[in-house]
A and B are shown apart, each in its own frame.
Chain A
Amino acid sequence: MMKRLKRPIAFLSLLAFSFPFIFLFILSIAKGWNFPNLLPSGYSTERWSGLVQNTGGLLQSLLLSCKIGLVVAIVSTFTGFTISRSISLHSKRKYLLFACYFPLALSPVIYSLLLNHFFLKFNLSGTFMGVVIAQLIITIPFSILLLSSFWNERIRSLEQVSSTLGSNLQQIFFRVLLPVALPQLLICFFQTFLVSWFEYGLTIIIGVGKVQTLTLKVYQYIGEANIFYAALSSCLIVFPPAIFLWINKKYVFSKLN
């Protein structure tokens, strides 16, 4: 009996998993959605076409979120790669890696509250750089943990072989380590980008509402009870990760997400 139920349950699960995305899209093009109607009263692409004219500042928020995400992803991937190598060579590597869990486990919004005074003191509050630095404080330990598994005995031996074949440190890095690490670096890049892309609490504390990322827009529209623009902003947030997923599921899934 259980085997016969497999297909219907699988189908229902698929439907349940896709429902939020379909729902958000329909809401974003809905003209109205009055109770007790199940479906909207009409449809219009006006809000989506208004995006180009930066209606509601959404286009600006989209670009800002991209910018912050890219900077955070690039810096934390590079930093994580470098630091995780040195940690792998250190005698206390177990403790150093363990230390990375603490900033990661703390709620980002509470962590940003603890550090807010220092951001205010250094005039970083309410600035692009402030939000980037605050996000890096979380994404760097994350990327260290993600990339630490790369530095194993095998990679160490590859470095040694390259050395005896005549490579200097620079050649070992660019011709051997970087290409071999590329798949893992890409995973780290996309996952740290998503951490930044999805972040709300930390952004609103350090950004003081001035750094208007897409997640802030969603909350703003929820507060205004403007469900259609909240749905539009939500669509803009979820579509890039959905595309990353389509390309490579590992870009989105990590046991620490």
Chain B
Amino acid sequence: MLLNIQHISKQYSAESVLENISLTLNENRTLSILGKSGCGKSTLLKIISGLVLQDRGDIILKGKNINMLPANLRHIVYMSQEALLFPHLNVFENIAFGLRIKNEKKAMIETKVNHLITRLGLHGHHQKMPQQLSGGQQQRVNFGRSLIINPPLLLLDEPFGNLDTQTRAEMQQLFKQVAGEFNIASIFVTHDIKEALLMGDNIGYMNNGQLKIYETKKSFISDSITGAQQEISFWQTL
């Protein structure tokens, strides 16, 4: 078991954002979490990555309690909806960032970054600045920047939410392939039912700060609260 979240709770002022959240995640697996805006999904990811401190509960990574570990030492990368590329660095340097701060050898950085640039379909864009890239290209660079440091766990907070349908579909395919190649475990948060079913090996539903993990995708679809049944009915009646 890679990740074990136990009874995480978080309150902001008098409002409970997360209530007693527990989940487990094995290596090389993707957990999709479906939930509407404001249900606490982003807060959960930020707590796991160490950007926000929980009020109660434990985060166990590879058998170690990492509650007190700062974000930069957890090796858990957080990817948001906006690519948030460093505006002063080009594509190459954005991807290389994580290796540069570790003072890795120049030759090694070049090899790894170039390989990743080709793998992510960004060949020829090495020197471009972020503002010269499309939304989809920016997310690919964001991907590369996250993957290059080989994090055991990747947290994706609606990463394709800003993209058009076709680009979104391409990015979904790309993620599934690359995640498999890099043996990355991930938690993929989305408000889109189709995307949740497509991306995850396991699936959960978050509502009002509470999380329910489903044994199988079938049980997720059968549960009326997820809205999956309504979606299926809609397409069937067309």
Whether A93 is near chain B, meaning CB under 8 Å from some CB there, is: no
In the assembled complex, the Cα of A164 lies from the Cα of B84 at a distance in Å of 13
**Closest chain B CB from A174 CB (angstroms):** 10
Contact among A161, A167, A168 with B78 in the assembled complex (CB-CB below 8 Å): A161
Contact B80 A164 (CB under 8 A): no
Chain A contacts for B149, CB-based, 8 A: 165-166
With A171-B101, A175-B101 as known contacts, state yes or no: A164 contacts B78, CB within 8 Å.
yes
Chain A contacts for B100, CB-based, 8 A: 175
With A164-B49, A165-B97, A166-B102 as known contacts, state yes or no: A157 contacts B75, CB within 8 Å.
no
In B108-128, the 8 Å CB interface with A consists of none
Chain A contacts for B82, CB-based, 8 A: 154, 157
Contact among B50, B51, B145 with A165 in the assembled complex (CB-CB below 8 Å): B145
Contact B75 A176 (CB under 8 A): no
**Closest chain B CB from A150 CB (angstroms):** 12
Contact B84 A167 (CB under 8 A): no
**Closest chain B CB from A120 CB (angstroms):** 47
Contact B71 A164 (CB under 8 A): yes
With A160-B51, A160-B71 as known contacts, state yes or no: A165 contacts B101, CB within 8 Å.
yes
In the assembled complex, the Cα of A28 lies from the Cα of B146 at a distance in Å of 62
In the assembled complex, the Cα of A25 lies from the Cα of B118 at a distance in Å of 61
Contact B86 A167 (CB under 8 A): no
Residues of chain A whose beta carbon lies under 8 Å from any beta carbon of chain B: 154, 157-158, 160-168, 171, 175-176, 179-180, 182
Q: Mark B71-109, 1 if CB is under 8 A from A, else 0.
A: 111111110101010111000000001101110000000
Chain B contacts for A163, CB-based, 8 A: 50-51, 70-72
24 contacts between A and B (CB under 8 A): A157-B80, A160-B46, A160-B51, A160-B78, A161-B78, A161-B80, A162-B86, A162-B97, A163-B50, A163-B70, A164-B50, A164-B76, A165-B72, A165-B101, A166-B72, A166-B73, A166-B98, A166-B149, A167-B72, A167-B101, A175-B97, A175-B100, A176-B86, A180-B88
Chain B contacts for A168, CB-based, 8 A: 72
In this complex, how many residues of chain B approach chain A with their Cβ under 8 Å: the count is: 27
Chain B residue nearest in CB terms to A172: B72
**Closest chain B CB from A173 CB (angstroms):** 12
In the assembled complex, the Cα of A165 lies from the Cα of B151 at a distance in Å of 9
Chain B contacts for A165, CB-based, 8 A: 72, 77, 97-98, 101, 145-146, 149
In the assembled complex, the Cα of A161 lies from the Cα of B50 at a distance in Å of 11
**Closest chain A CB from B143 CB (angstroms):** 13
Contact among A160, A166, A171, A180 with B86 in the assembled complex (CB-CB below 8 Å): A180
Chain A contacts for B77, CB-based, 8 A: 164-165
Chain A residue nearest in CB terms to B70: A163
Assuming A166-B75, A166-B98, A171-B101, what are 9 further A-B pairs, CB within 8 angstroms? A160-B46, A160-B71, A162-B86, A163-B71, A164-B72, A164-B77, A165-B77, A166-B101, A180-B87
Chain B contacts for A175, CB-based, 8 A: 97, 100-101
**Closest chain A CB from B80 CB (angstroms):** 6
Chain B residue nearest in CB terms to A169: B72
Chain B residue nearest in CB terms to A171: B101
In the assembled complex, the Cα of A158 lies from the Cα of B94 at a distance in Å of 12
In the assembled complex, the Cα of A67 lies from the Cα of B71 at a distance in Å of 43
In the assembled complex, the Cα of A162 lies from the Cα of B89 at a distance in Å of 13
In the assembled complex, the Cα of A167 lies from the Cα of B70 at a distance in Å of 10
**Closest chain B CB from A151 CB (angstroms):** 15
In the assembled complex, the Cα of A40 lies from the Cα of B76 at a distance in Å of 75
Q: Mark B195-213, 1 if CB is under 8 A from A, else 0.
A: 0000000000000000000
Chain A contacts for B46, CB-based, 8 A: 160
Contact A158 B86 (CB under 8 A): yes
Q: Across the A-B interface, give the 7 residue pairs with the lowest CB-CB distance, nearest first.
A: A163-B71, A179-B88, A165-B98, A164-B78, A163-B72, A164-B77, A160-B51
Chain B contacts for A161, CB-based, 8 A: 78, 80, 84
Chain A contacts for B70, CB-based, 8 A: 163
Chain B residue nearest in CB terms to A168: B72
